[in-house]
Every structure is written in C-alpha cells, then in structure tokens.
Amino acid sequence: MTIDETVASRFTSPAEVSDRLREVEYLSDDAIASTVFLADRLQKPVLVEGPAGTGKTQLAKSVAELTGSRLIRLQCYEGLDESKALYEWNYRKQLLRIQASQVGADQTGPGWAELEEDIFDEGFLLTRPLLEAIRSTEPVVLLIDEVDRVELETEALMLEVLSEYQVSIPELGTVTASQIPMVFLTSNNTRELSEALKRRCLFLHVGYPDVERERLIVETRVPGISSELAEQIARIVRTIREMELRKAPSVSETIDWARTLVILGKDTIDAEAAVETLHILLKYQTDIEKARAELTGTRR
C-alpha cells in the first residue's frame, strides 16, 4: 500500500503524541510516542507486544480518546472465525425473502439470478468489527486485542485489512476504506505470530515501566495518593517483579493496590505493612508467600 500524502496527519511530532497522551492520563515513553507518530504518518498498523497488564489495550483506547475517534474493538479468542471478525450474511432474512418470493411467484416472477442478486444485497449483510472499521466514514481506531489467541487461519483473514485496508466480499466485490483507520494489534506473546502479519505492522514492545515512570502512572491514575506512597509502591513492586513468580504484578494491579492503600488511609507503607495487602497485587498463594518472605526478610 502506498502512503496517501493528502491525508491529514493527526500529529506533528512524537513530542506532541506524548503530550496529548498525558492529557488523557496515559504516560508514554519515547518508544511508544515515536511508534504512534510513525503509525499515523506511514498509515501502518502497530503490533504491540508485552506482558499482560502493561497498558497495551489502554494505548489504543487513549489514542482513540485524544483523536476523537470511534474505537472499534475485535476481542480475539480461540475459535474466532470470519463470521465474527469480518462479516456474515443474514441467512434468516435471506430465507424469508426467498420464501416470500416463492409464495408470490407466477410465470412472470423473478428467476433465480434476480433473486440471488436481491438476497446478496448490502441490506442482508451483517458487518463485524474488521469490516465495520473499513466501512466507517468517521475517524476510527481499530483495536484487535490479543491477536495471539486466534489460529493461523483466522490470522490470515486479517492480512488484507492490515495491508490494503480493504475487505473482499465475493458476492459484492471489494470494500475499500474511505479513510484510513489507526490499527493496534495487541499480543501477550503466548504464541509466535506469522511473519506475514508481522511484516505488515510496526512493532512496539511495551514492558514493565521503570520505577520513576510507574510512580508517575500511579500518581496520575490514583487521586489523592501522596508522592511518598506512590514512590514506595513503585519500588516495592519493582522488587517483587524481580522474583521468580508464576505471575508478576501488572501495572493495572499496581494501580489497584495503590487505590486499596489510599482507601485504607495509608500515606506511607513499609515492606512489613505491605504484606497485609499482597493479595491485591498478586494472584497466586505461592507468589504471595514468596513475596512475604522476601519483603520481611524471612526467606529460608
């Protein structure tokens, strides 16, 4: 696909992306801001990989919010097929139309060719997220969430949309986007994605933030929290993530923990006091026990 130079860019620089994301309470780093800027200029989808809960989905939501675009979301899962991702025909409505034509048919009634043309009209088409994003006449951010959960066959269905921003419907022809949506695909990297899909996208890895950025995220997303408590939370979470756990705490879980401590009236927290609420931060008992031992210095 060639870049359409006539399309107005949404951003003038990576710095503007960063500033506008901050306005909608999403604190980006340089890599995130640069990738979003280039995705807009190059009119290419972004494949966002990284651990669960690091803000991949929220990035697409925040870009939609700051650009005033409609967010269209395709939540991926095992067994997702064309009828749920692209489109399907309203078979019940088509059957009723056929039955109605047969009831009223006479020698001059419509032949099958005319009837076929009738029932494969757009009025019988049920659009799904990918086609909905292509057909939209308003600005759109298309979020294809957890794309690594679908099979390779379903992944292949997306390639035409990702490269040409169009959908081919055998009965109707090719539907081409009148405006180019911004597309974000997220992956928790549970399986290797195809080279064909990766080739069509810009790549962005969103990992766990450093202590300073996580402190800023907590301060931004948790009203009423003190800077000292946000700093302590970010440092404790970093210590816990460095342990060998079944599931390291995500940024969203850090925020939940911070909100819990604010509700409990905490202005500061030390390592020993933190163990009382570790069940908010961690989701496996074995991880909680490891973290408790680490934080209280009772490791065997």
Same domain, 201 and 225: no
pLDDT tens digits along 11-57: 999 999 999 999 999 999 999 999 999 999 999 999 999 999 899 99
Among 156, 187, 205, the domain-final residue is 205
Torsion of CA 159, 163, 167, 170, to 10 degrees: -70
pLDDT value at 193 more than 50: yes
Distance CA 187, CA 56 (A): 8
Residue 42 lies in a domain: yes
Residue 43 lies in a domain: yes
Among 174, 205, 236, the domain-final residue is 205
Same domain, 152 and 269: no
Record the pTM.
0.85
Same domain, 140 and 170: yes
Distance CA 228, CA 114 (A): 74
Residue 6 lies in a domain: no
Q: Which residue type sits at 246?
A: R
- The whole domain housing 100 covers 87-122
Residue 299 lies in a domain: no
Integer angstrom CA distances of residue 193 from 27, 47, 149, 150, 203: 28, 10, 10, 10, 12
State how many domains the chain has: 3
Q: Which residue has the higher pLDDT, 174 or 59?
A: 59
Nearest to 231 by CA among 256, 253, 213: 213
Same domain, 139 and 252: no
Give the percent of the chain with pLDDT over 90.
71
SS (H, E, C) 252-298: HHHHHHHHHHHHCCCCCCCHHHHHHHHHHHCCCHHHHHHHHHHHHCC
Same domain, 47 and 172: yes
Same domain, 164 and 74: yes
Same domain, 137 and 251: no
Distance CA 207, CA 233 (A): 18
Helix (H, G, I), strand (E, B) or coil at 115: helix
pLDDT tens digits along 223-263: 999 999 999 999 999 999 999 999 999 999 999 999 999 99
Parallel, antiparallel or unpaired: strands 166-169 and 173-176: antiparallel
